[in-house]
Structure 1
């Protein structure tokens, strides 16, 4: 009798596992969407008012980039933590209640690793990654970790109303920093050209050092035998701002 009881228990347990496993595995392996706050077009014309808090943004990703209310520096999101690289080039931790006017995040899961060879310029890095992607028509999240021979990065100071266009801020106020033999992580995305009206088409990276003390928006660099971890994003979602500045902006 005990043997029969154990057998029935084993059968029931196996049946339960078989019924639950497909749903569980589907949840684990479900591709993560990219999630974007506002549009590049709005940022370009000076819509720097915050659209959502970092606490809310955390619900949509643990990896990404962007900026902060008032265009106050560069955002790096890595391993679920948010960093603000201000105009002094220093990375600061950020409180959950801080707002962002423009950002893009995802829950990063490495899908493939691309081993690139040689001492590459930034253009060569982009070319080699692009040649190994299965299609040019989908967004990708890209993480590159290691020691970099040379990186040129920038940040911008916080703006005050009335906000100037982004091009004026970059051309007149950006602070550029050159880093050599620096260890850290590049956090970024590659988006297809058809998304150029809403986000940066092509490659967009922000950098943070391994000690989480410095970084910025990547402008140029040299990369020695880098390894690029890549995830394909088959869904790209957007949250549009619910404030007057966005509603009244000229985005045609």
Structure 2
């Protein structure tokens, strides 16, 4: 009993010290089994591009993820805890910590499934190959691919100026390039169809080369002996913007057709 009382007292002291602002813990221990999202995909589709969360705060919620930046200034690739910015001129840089994001999805990546030495041809074939490896299409998965891409087509939008155009229009002159026989990493998510409007249903992947000079949103890709990792995650947390364009935008429209054009514009 005495030891039990000591444990309770220790916990109470810890709570009181934390309330007084002098806790030895500078931040709460993050929950690694949560997918954390800023804003919604439909808000981005409707030109809500103002950043709401800085990069340095985003990485407190994950070491793996995707998104975009304030004013739609390129594609966000979070890999191994580092945020990269694939810009509209085709260049890639480490994103400044104070750069804000209007949309991002991140998690701490702890793979549950490993599929080594995969050869696939095109996005559709990749989807078919992985279908038998997941427990359910109703669950959420973080996805990572490491290895050789026999081809990968990437895109990145140019920074937009006010008044912001809608996303389908903003991407009309985006940077797009296809690279062959390139080693790199793809990160992203496989999300259920019922999450339409909140996020992109199905696969949504961003790529960065091993030398960190090529990157962007993946439009299409094929693999040449790559390893695919899947992290099944059951908890989803969303942070909505508290001000700005998100407050007044009409998010009632069905944008699924436009989303298909935005995500994979070269698909037949």
* Interval containing the TM-score (normalised by the shorter chain): 0.7 to 0.9
The Cα shift of 1:58 comes to 1.1
SS for the counterpart of 2:56 is helix
Q: Quote the Cα distance in structure 2 between the aligned partners of 1:190 and 1:169.
A: 25
The Cα shift of 1:162 comes to 0.7
What's the Cα RMSD here?
A: 1.7
The Cα shift of 1:244 comes to 2.5
1:61 pairs with 2:44: no
Q: Which range moved further: 60-69 or 108-117?
A: 108-117
Q: Quote the Cα distance in structure 1 between the aligned partners of 2:221 and 2:100.
A: 30
The Cα shift of 1:224 comes to 2.1
Q: How do 1:18-57 and structure 2 match up within 5 A?
A: 32-57=33-58
Q: Name the residue aligned to 1:139.
A: 140
Aligned residues of 2:74 and 2:158 also touching (Cα < 8 A): yes
SS for the counterpart of 1:226 is strand
Change (3 A) 1:36 1:120: same
- What is the number of residues matched between the two proteins? 225
The Cα shift of 1:116 comes to 6.0
Q: Quote the Cα distance in structure 2 between the aligned partners of 1:88 and 1:249.
A: 30
Q: Name the residue aligned to 2:265.
A: none
SS for the counterpart of 1:70 is helix
> Structure 1 regions of 5+ residues with no counterpart?
1-11, 13-27
Deviations, residues 34-82 of structure 1 (Å, cap 9, x unaligned): 0000000100000000111111111100100000000000000011101
Q: Name the residue aligned to 1:173.
A: 173
SS for the counterpart of 2:121 is strand
Deviations, residues 4-59 of structure 1 (Å, cap 9, x unaligned): xxxxxxxx9xxxxxxxxxxxxxxx9x751000000001000000001111111111
Q: How do 1:60-139 and structure 2 match up within 5 A?
A: 60-115=61-116, 117-139=118-140
SS for the counterpart of 1:124 is helix
Q: What TM-score do the two structures reach when normalised by structure 1?
A: 0.85
Aligned residues of 1:149 and 1:223 also touching (Cα < 8 A): yes
Q: Name the residue aligned to 1:160.
A: 161
1:204 pairs with 2:207: no
Deviations, residues 80-128 of structure 1 (Å, cap 9, x unaligned): 1010000122111111111000000000011110236444222100111
Q: Quote the Cα distance in structure 1 between the aligned partners of 2:60 and 2:167.
A: 28
> Where has structure 1 moved over 6 Å in runs of 4 or more?
none
Q: Which range moved further: 219-228 or 70-79?
A: 219-228
Aligned residues of 1:31 and 1:233 also touching (Cα < 8 A): no
Deviations, residues 124-151 of structure 1 (Å, cap 9, x unaligned): 0011112210111111001000011111
Larger Rg: 1
